[in-house]
């Protein structure tokens, strides 16, 4: 039917099916969708308010190629399946459509599907729905996501510069449901109410905390709609809907906008690796394994109780990549951290012999998933330049962060899981035994430049009886905090971007619990001051990280790092250099991982001159013992540790020390140190 043809006007203001409404899909739309290349498919699939030939209502579209009949159900028709049927307009592709006049924003709906096979019928939420009811309800909600007036133009213009490889990126990882409740758990005079904060309540509170800590970005555990709180958001049912737990889609847009106005980037955890079996969502969508592989040896994660997306099906890939670009485009998200990439790359991931099927060449590599990941990264960089993608990938798969045109997967960064496991194992040891595990500290530099790495201390390391960051440290109270400060100091000096999960910034004792607020009361008297002092140390680390180009500008270049001494295992001491393109910006790091102070420690330095301590984790301000180096340390022409010059300094117990050579200026024949000019 031509689009210009007049529609039959309904005689009532009640929602009315307009049976002669034209299709909104062009042949080219459907061709691109069938090829997996229509990355704005969400603008036509799902539910959208439209005015067609003067009639205002909601247009619905759903992909269900194996359905015999599909109808729209909701409060407006008392959930009766026979009242509002959809029409199969595109037989080959299986797209169903209908237009309902006078059906407006805020109405709930589902697709009622009757399959061609097995006498199967089910009521499904909209795969492309922009909002959903608060669990345990699960219907989709007709929503207009274009009402928010964005005010983050400055951030968006500067984002590409802020997120380039040589920029400092330190990330505060957050689970919105447990960062802070109202009221705070343990707060004096707390009432019995204990609820989530909303997106609009979280925005100023979280932004203030992140600014106080000096992080450049936040990373949110999945906020894509999910039914089960205990999945932390990793079992997604709404790939286009922010969870209703904290508010509406416009509320979440406000949240992101507010963060950008405070110069804080927002990264989302995004989960294209699997989805739950909940009957109202994607599983067995039209009476067939439409979104998942039919063969359980490829299509099911038995240990997770979830299904695996069928990456060989173009429409499924289109659905997922459309979702990724949707968040970047419509919500101004700055990057996506892709969860469980390893589970996507290997056909035998967490599967026993006989429980998986080899690829066409007899190998274990999941070739369709590899192609999908490459297509995803290519689409992100083409459509949303300046954004970043991060792979949570724990294996030795090569070229994860290399361009697809050289055979890579195309991610911007990869989590350095090897560094994380080695260092947590090392820090857990009693210092008397660390000399026998010195390789745990140094091994990561053997491969540090094989990928663009991000160093994570994530939520996964503080759950399932692993303990919190502070309880992983050995020793008494003082030693635990000293160990943690020394570890953080080393982490911020190590090549790679940084990520720290919430609670780790102030040394929360409790292991993370998704159902409870963080222990914010630890930061106020009469609690031990070590917690607030640790947070002060994180602030100063982040401030130094952003001020000193040597800590980020050559992150992916081996010329940005060199060991001074990585062999002093007897003392459990390491020392190294971080460089930028300018020699006068070079920093020297020394880490002492024993509780033994070392006076008169000779250290090789890369340049002749006078060195000053710019950060010491043992400073009294941070809760340390105060064993610092306040004096200038002039170098002597004594060859030491392969360096032409050396200095003497004091190494504090369980401490990280950062030094910088003082600039000199020649004035009227005199050499004047920078410190004298201030």
Distance of alpha carbon 642 from alpha carbon 361, whole angstroms: 50
pLDDT of the residue at 89: 85
d(CA 478, CA 656): 15
Residues spanned by the domain of 53: 16-124
**Contact present, 315 and 339 (Cβ < 8 Å):** no
Is residue 209 in a domain?
Answer: no
Q: How confident is the model at residue 666 (pLDDT cuts 50, 70, 90)?
A: very low
Per-residue confidence (pLDDT) for residue 667, from 0 to 100: 39
Among candidate residues 124, 146, 171, the one where a domain is terminated: 124
- What six digits make up the tokens of 65? 């190629």
Mean pLDDT over 231-239 rounds to: 97
β pairing state of 388-391 and 108-115: unpaired
Q: 552: Cβ–Cβ under 8 A, 6 or more apart, which residues? A: 166, 167, 168, 169, 497, 545
Of 501 and 582, more confident: 501
DSSP code at position 675: H
Please report whether residue 609 resides in a domain: yes
For residue 161, count other CB atoms closer than 10 A to its CB.
10
**Domain assignment present for 437:** no
Tens digit of pLDDT for each residue in 87-121? 998 888 999 999 999 999 999 999 999 999 989 99
Token pair listed for 405: 């045109």
Instruction: State the pLDDT at residue 320.
Output: 98
Radius of gyration of the chain (CA): 28
Per-residue confidence band for 192, with pLDDT thresholds at 50, 70 and 90: low
In a domain, 36, yes or no: yes
State the helix-helix crossing angle for 367-383 and 314-330, rounded to 10 degrees.
Answer: 30
Establish whether 557 is a catalytic residue: no
Is 339 one of the annotated active-site residues of the chain?
yes
Q: Residue 633's domain is classified under what CATH number?
A: 2.60.40.1180
Residue 16 in contact with residue 10, Cβ under 8 Å?
Answer: yes
Taking Cα atoms as reference points, which of 294, 390, 401, 303 lies closest to residue 343?
Answer: 303
Does 642 fall in a domain?
Answer: yes
Structural domains in the chain (count): 2
pLDDT at 669 over 80: no
The domain boundary, picked from 70, 105, 124, lies at 124
Residue 6 CB-density burial (10 A; 0-12 exposed, 13-18 middle, 19+ buried) = exposed
572 is written with which tokens? Answer: 């459990």
Q: Which of 269, 334, 339, 555 is catalytic?
A: 339
Q: What is the pLDDT of residue 17?
A: 92
Mean pLDDT computed over 498-505: 98
pLDDT score of 184: 65
The mean pLDDT of the chain is 94
pLDDT at 294: 95
Could you give the angle at the alpha carbon of 414 between the alpha carbons of 409 and 418, nearest 5°?
A: 125
pLDDT for residue 4 is more than 60 = no
Q: What is the DSSP string of 183-205?
A: SPTT-TT--S--EEPPHHHHHHH
List CB contacts of 48: < 8 A, sequence separation 6 or more.
58, 59
pLDDT band at 52 (very low <50, low <70, confident <90, very high): confident
Whole-number Å distance between alpha carbons of 290 and 307: 11
pLDDT over 60 at 363, yes or no: yes
What pLDDT, on a 0 to 100 scale, did the predictor assign at position 53? 84
Retrieve residue 186's tokens. 């343990």
The secondary element (H helix, E strand) that includes residue 587 is strand 587-592
Per-residue confidence (pLDDT) for residue 90, from 0 to 100: 84
Could you tell me if residue 76 is inside a domain? yes
- Out of 392, 422, 505, 555, the active site residue is 392
Token output for 348? 């035998």
The CA-atom distances, in angstroms, between 390 and each of 169, 220, 284 are 12, 13, 30
Q: Which two tokens stand for residue 625?
A: 């013992």
pLDDT of residue 1: 37
pLDDT of residue 374: 98
d(CA 520, CA 286): 47
Listed in sequence order, the DSSP H helices in 476-564 are: 477-493, 530-547
**Do you find a cis peptide bond into 176, omega within 30 degrees of 0?**
no
What are the CA-CA distances from residue 645 to residues 509, 569, 583, 635, 637 (Å)?
Answer: 44, 22, 15, 6, 5
Which of 35-49, 68-82, 191-205, 409-423 has the weakest average pLDDT?
A: 191-205
* Residue 203: inside a domain: no
Query: Of 72, 104, 124, which closes a domain?
Result: 124
| pLDDT higher than 90, residue 673 | no
User: Of 278-282, 400-404, 525-529, 594-598, which gets the smallest average pLDDT?
Assistant: 525-529
Mean pLDDT of all residues in 207-231: 97
Q: Residue 529 pLDDT > 60, yes or no?
A: yes
- pLDDT score of 676: 45
pLDDT tens column, 137-172: 999 999 999 999 999 999 999 999 999 999 999 999
CATH number reported for the structural domain that contains residue 100 in this entry? 2.60.40.10
Tell me: the pLDDT tens digits for 645-660?
999 999 999 999 999 9
3-class SS shares of the chain: helix, strand, coil, % to 5:
30, 25, 45
Q: Is residue 297 part of a domain?
A: no
Q: Is the pLDDT assigned to residue 224 strictly greater than 70?
A: yes
């Amino acid at each position: 039917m031509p689009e210009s043809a007049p529609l039959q006007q309904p005689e009532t203001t009640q929602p009315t099916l307009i049976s002669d409404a034209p299709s909104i899909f062009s042949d080219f739309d459907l061709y691109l969708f069938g090829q997996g290349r229509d990355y704005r498919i969400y603008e036509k699939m799902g539910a959208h308010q439209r005015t067609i030939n003067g009639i205002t209502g909601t247009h619905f579209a759903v992909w269900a190629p194996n359905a015999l009949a599909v109808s729209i159900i909701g409060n407006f028709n008392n959930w009766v399946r026979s009242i509002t049927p959809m029409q199969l307009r595109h037989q080959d592709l299986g797209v169903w459509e209908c237009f309902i006049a006078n059906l407006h924003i805020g109405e709930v709906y589902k697709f009622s599907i009757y399959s061609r096979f097995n006498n199967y019928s089910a009521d499904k939420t909209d795969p492309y729905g922009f909002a959903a009811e608060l669990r345990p309800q699960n219907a989709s909600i007709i929503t207009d996501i274009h009402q928010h007036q964005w005010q983050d133009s400055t951030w968006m213009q500067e984002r590409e510069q802020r997120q380039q490889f040589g920029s400092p990126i330190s990330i505060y990882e957050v689970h919105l449901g447990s960062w802070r409740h109202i009221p705070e758990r343990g707060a004096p005079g707390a009432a019995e109410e204990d609820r989530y904060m909303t997106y609009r309540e979280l925005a100023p509170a979280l932004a203030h905390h992140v600014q106080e800590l000096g992080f450049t970005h936040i990373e949110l555990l999945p906020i894509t709609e999910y039914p089960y709180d205990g999945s932390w958001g990793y079992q997604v049912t709404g790939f286009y809907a922010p969870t209703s737990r904290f508010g509406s889609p416009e509320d979440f847009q406000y949240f992101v906008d507010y963060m950008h106005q405070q110069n804080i980037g927002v990264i989302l955890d995004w989960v294209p690796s699997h989805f739950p079996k909940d009957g109202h969502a994607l599983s067995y969508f039209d009476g067939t394994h439409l979104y998942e592989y039919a063969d359980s040896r490829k299509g099911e994660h038995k240990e997770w109780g979830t299904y695996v997306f069928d990456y060989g099906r173009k429409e499924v890939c289109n659905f997922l990549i459309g979702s990724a670009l949707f968040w970047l485009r419509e919500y101004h998200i700055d990057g996506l951290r892709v969860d469980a990439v390893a589970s996507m790359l290997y056909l035998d991931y967490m599967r026993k012999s006989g429980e998986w099927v080899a690829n066409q060449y007899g190998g274990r590599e999941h070739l369709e998933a590899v192609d999908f990941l490459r297509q995803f990264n290519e689409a992100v960089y083409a459509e949303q330049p300046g954004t970043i993608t991060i792979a949570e990938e724990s294996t030795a798969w090569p070229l994860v962060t290399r361009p697809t045109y050289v055979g890579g997967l195309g991610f911007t960064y990869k989590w350095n899981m090897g560094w994380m496991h080695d260092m947590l194992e090392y820090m857990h040891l009693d210092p008397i035994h660390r000399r026998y595990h010195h390789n745990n500290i140094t091994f990561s530099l053997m491969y540090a430049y094989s990928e663009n790495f991000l160093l994570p201390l994530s939520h996964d390391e503080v759950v399932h009886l692993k303990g919190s960051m502070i309880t992983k440290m050995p020793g008494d109270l003082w030693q635990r905090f000293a160990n943690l400060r020394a570890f953080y100091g080393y982490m911020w000096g190590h090549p790679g971007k940084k990520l720290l999960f919430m609670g780790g910034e102030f040394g929360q004792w409790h292991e993370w619990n998704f159902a409870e607020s963080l222990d914010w009361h630890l930061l106020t008297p009469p609690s031990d001051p070590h917690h607030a002092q640790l947070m002060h140390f994180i602030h100063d680390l982040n401030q130094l990280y952003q001020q000193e180009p040597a800590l980020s500008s050559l992150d992916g270049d081996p010329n940005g790092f060199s060991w001074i001494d990585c062999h002093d295992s007897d003392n459990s001491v390491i020392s190294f250099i971080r460089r930028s393109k300018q020699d006068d910006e070079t920093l020297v790091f020394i880490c002492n991982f024993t509780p033994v102070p070392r006076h008169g420690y000779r250290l090789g330095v890369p340049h002749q001159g006078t060195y000053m301590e710019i950060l010491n984790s043992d400073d009294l301000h941070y809760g340390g013992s105060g064993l610092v180096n306040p004096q200038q340390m002039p170098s002597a022409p004594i060859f030491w540790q392969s360096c032409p010059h050396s200095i003497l300094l004091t190494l504090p117990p369980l401490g990280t020390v950062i030094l910088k050579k003082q600039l000199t200026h020649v004035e009227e024949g005199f050499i004047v140190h920078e410190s004298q000019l201030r």
